[in-house]
Structure 1
Amino acid sequence: MKRWIAGLLLVALLAGCMEKELYVFPDDRGELIVVAHLKQPLLTIIDADSEDIIGELELPFIASDMAMVNGRLVLSSVEEEQLYAFDFETQALEAIGEVGLGISKLLEVDGELYAAHATEDRVSRISVEPFAVEAIAETDEHPQSLAYGDGQIFVANVYGHSVQALDPKTLDITESHHIIDRPNGIAYTDGQLLVGGHGPNGELNREVVRYSLADEKITERIEVGLMPIDVLSGEDAFYVLNHGSHEVVALDEDLEEQGRLSVAGNPYYGALSDSRLYISSLDGDIITVIDTDDFEKLSEIPVSSGPHALAVREAQR
């Protein structure tokens, strides 16, 4: 596997202005997999076709999450008040605006960005360009997972043991549900939520539950594996990451199990792109590539330590 280490070319520092950092790595405008690392301030750029690492960019912070917004990669950090954006055209990283500390999760919906501030117990709605914090919601304790469906934003509050529904414009809290203890990982489907999580203290969870929003009750429990902490929604399937049993499970629209794959240690983040599912393993230092059509493991890409958040830059050709 070829590996290009992208050096820091230029740091332009202007008094009273935001810092811009320029990088150089080869980009033929094909699809890119971007990996942020939790154990070091690093961004890994992978060519999705060749699976070569074409850049390792040293960041001025540890990125907690990323989202593609209008062609730019937006990055957050738990310990930074600023949001940052990476422009693939100019290969420049810059701070774009202040949002406050504690962001652990980002969600892009129709060009708008939503941020869960896990340590600050709030959710923000953000316009990236022009930059503005347009609304703020005070949530239950430790908002961690975000999902969108039926015109609402859903946030799972781990230590508040709740899932709250927010108006996407005002962020007014319209509903609050206690579904399971320590929820983490949610997806919306046809008036219902799929919810995973760690479960009660001392009793680790092995289930994803289907919860009816209309009836406000759990209608089904699906055993998937130890500590399901993320649920990804595909076109006609759901993918559950079990970071306790180191597995990824595919469920169809009826929540029947369609397949189960072992992956490297502590899978914690996933990203979908066409017929590919990318999984980062925080302790295994691997990006697993899965074919979602046949649900089979295609390859494993070794990366530097602590891979976490993933984003996909679609081909620009």
Structure 2
Amino acid sequence: MPSENSPAATAHAFNKLLNQPKLGSKSRSGEVDDGTKRLRRMILVEGIPSKTDPNLRPRIWKILLRVNELPSDTYLRYVSRGPCEVREKIRNDTFRTLATDKGFKERVREDMLVRLLDAFVWRNHDRPEDQLGFTYVQGMNVLAAPFLYTMPSEIEAFFCFAKFIEEACPLYVQPTLEGVHKGLRLLDRCLKFVDPELYAHLRSKNLSAELYAFPSVLTLCACTPPLDQVLQLWDFLLAFGVHLNVLCVIAQLLLMRDEVMASSSPMKLLRTFPPLEATPVIGIAVTLVRDLPADLYDELVRHPYEVHHS
């Protein structure tokens, strides 16, 4: 029998939970079921042992995103329409996607990424007029990459990506990147609250989140290698909400705080964040949640999806 804290024992515990019927379905009241709450807690406390059982992460992501249907004919219909009207823009970005990650390049070919993004644009052509619209925007290629890397099939990656974009962070992919800019403004406000000294130092150098944190907010940290750490961070974001990415970026700042405070030109340090370490980043982000005033945290929760009608 594997020891209680071994990856094999953790994988066994996850599988036992995943094999329960109705996991991930919402009750009539819209409340999250107990199984999903336990799943979230296990992700936070144990982490998904994906090296021990590579099937766990794709299964868990689909449950967290509530992707139950995988109508392959729908995806193939989009693909059969061929290049969408913004294909050139897509191609401009896709060859650069996680270009330095050898493992990603081996598993995800550029044509898969192009096809998925083309299909997503076609899917939007079929959406009702009164709903928020989508097309291809900067950063979408990097947001699609973890799904193509993690999911066993392109079809599963497509439906997970579409659900994620349309429900979790629709404002991050509007043509104006409205949600991203909101997230950056909230990052400044949260940093000012949790670490006024660091905030003041950055402001004294005319540095706002808009200047140093744009890629990290735009891509939900997927731009900071290594990829295995990005996926671990995304386990947390998919379980508890993409709004927490703003706090994960602050956590990365706090991990390099001494160097930033000592630097007369911190932008040099902030241009490229150090390699991502998911466990300490998540630990700090969870602590920051407790420190923020309720109204600021509420704004943070809503910023990726709530449309303000003027």
What is the TM-score normalised by the length of structure 2?
Answer: 0.29
Higher normalized strand content (fraction of residues)? 1
Higher normalized helix content (fraction of residues)? 2
Q: Which has the higher contact order (CA 8 A, sep 6+)?
A: 2
What is the TM-score normalised by the length of structure 1?
Answer: 0.29
